[in-house]
Amino acid sequence: MNSKKMLMLIAAAVVLVGLAHWSSRRRDSGRAVARRIGTPVLPAFQDVDTVNRIARMTFVSPGSTVEVARVDGTWVAPGQYGYPVKFENVREFALSLVNLKIGHVLSASEVRRKRLGLLPPADERADRASSGTQVVLADEHGVTLAELIVGNEFQGPEDLESPMAGYGGMPQGRYVATDEEMIVVSELFHGLPRKAQDWLDDDLVHVAGSDIAKIELAHPERDRLVLRRPETGGNLTLSDLGAQEEMNTSKLGGLSGVLSHLRFADVADPALADEAMGLDRPVVLTAETRDGTRYRLDVGNKAGDTDDRYVRLSADWIETESPGSVQDETSDKTPADEVDVADAEDDEAEKDRQEREKKRAELEALNAQWSAWTYILPSYKIHHVMAAREDLVQEKKAKAKSEAGEPDKTVPDDGDSEKKPGFFRRMFGRD
């Protein structure tokens, strides 16, 4: 065998050894990846103490940054002047990270990273389509506990190699990037905040319109309007309603429902002066409920270039006496019966006292919350407070002649109804 053939055999052997080594490493790598399926994405978060150390969450998306932080034991939005956020949102997001499991590991590729929306928002190559939401969790000292990027939605296994990955179809999860790799998870992350207001605790109060017994509207440049609901029920009615006037029920419903599921759109900068918000001369709505609660809304100017308005809220309790029991002097009750009645009355009085104390405590808590803030209420809700008398009242409609015993002319009657077939006869050959 000459030297040339020997060299060729040696080269072939080297290639075969290399292929065998590469194949072995690939199999080992595949087994290693397979073993990781179903394991936590953030192993450190399997430690409860680590999760409890989270004191700040930052969500950076193209064009927006949302931050929430724990201050003195309360989660707030620093960018919204420290207004409280809904703790359940914070809790649910933290739990989603604890439960985040690897569903599939993707080979790293800058092209794939861009296609799956996993570029950091600050990356100069990133745009809205190619960048995800960067999530950073830190402790109270600013030490990062976890960081990841949430990218496009994952539609299924066929989506892995598709050039349209992350677009269209029914989502089954999300693409996520950590410092080391890109993976697929089953979590959809629908609760990610896109703006600061998304997680704010925006519930203010809920009072059903049917519970309102009286409304007063005081406009600085108009006469005061007073509406009362009759004790027998029915609609709220202006006290000075004329004989030929009636309430516009559609407009009335919006006014009586102002306190129903009342939520704010945003909170105002505490540094703003009353004059700048129009709260030095507000429109004042006062609403009294059947149970003796009185709510007050001071409504100011429009906020910025929107139709939303600045509003302050307060509430107090209208003292009313409980109806006393009337004794029947002619009754044949025995002393024992009278003792039972007295005990029952005492129990009822105690129950009423407890309910009143509970209501007062609730109102104190509401006032403590409301007094520190000026809210911006959405226009679809608050514009009803700006109503004038002519908006709430309309000319009384004439009664139909049929009510006066005359033929109802709603359907034309030419006196020949017997000769003309009805609708069903014309259409189907029968009435």
What is the tens place of the pLDDT at every residue in 35-59? Answer: 778 999 999 999 999 999 999 999 9
Q: What is the pLDDT of residue 214?
A: 96
- Cα separation values, 355 from 113, 291, 358, 362, Å: 60, 11, 5, 11
- The pLDDT value recorded for residue 169 is 60
State which amino acid sits at residue 80: Q
- pLDDT over 60 at 422, yes or no: no
Q: Looking at 24-28, 207-211, 291-295, 346-350, which range is the least confident one? A: 24-28
User: How many CB atoms lie under 10 A from the CB of residue 325?
Assistant: 12
Where does the pLDDT of residue 425 fall: very low under 50, low under 70, confident under 90, or very high at 90 and above? very low
3 state SS of 381: helix
CB 144 within 8 A of CB 134: no
Q: What digits encode the pLDDT tens for the residues 116-151?
A: 999 888 776 767 778 899 999 999 999 999 999 999
pLDDT at 397: 79
Are 55 and 137 in contact, with CB atoms under 8 Å apart? no
Stretch 262-279: mean pLDDT: 97
Instruction: Give the long-range contacts of residues 367-373, CB within 8 A, separation 24 or more.
Output: 367/314, 367/315, 367/316, 370/204, 370/312, 370/313, 370/314, 370/315, 371/314, 372/270, 373/83, 373/267, 373/268, 373/270
Is residue 10 predicted with pLDDT exceeding 60? yes
pLDDT at 159: 62
Distance CA 306, CA 316 (A): 31
* pTM for this predicted structure: 0.74
- CA–CA distances in Å: residue 381 to residues 244, 266, 307: 30, 14, 11
pLDDT tens-digit readout, 164-185: 444 556 788 999 998 878 999 9
pLDDT in tens, 377-405: 999 999 999 999 999 999 987 765 544 55
pLDDT at 298 over 60: yes
The answer to whether residue 415 scores a pLDDT higher than 80 is: no
**Range scoring the smallest mean pLDDT among 274-283, 322-331, 362-371:** 322-331
Q: Report pLDDT for 343.
A: 65
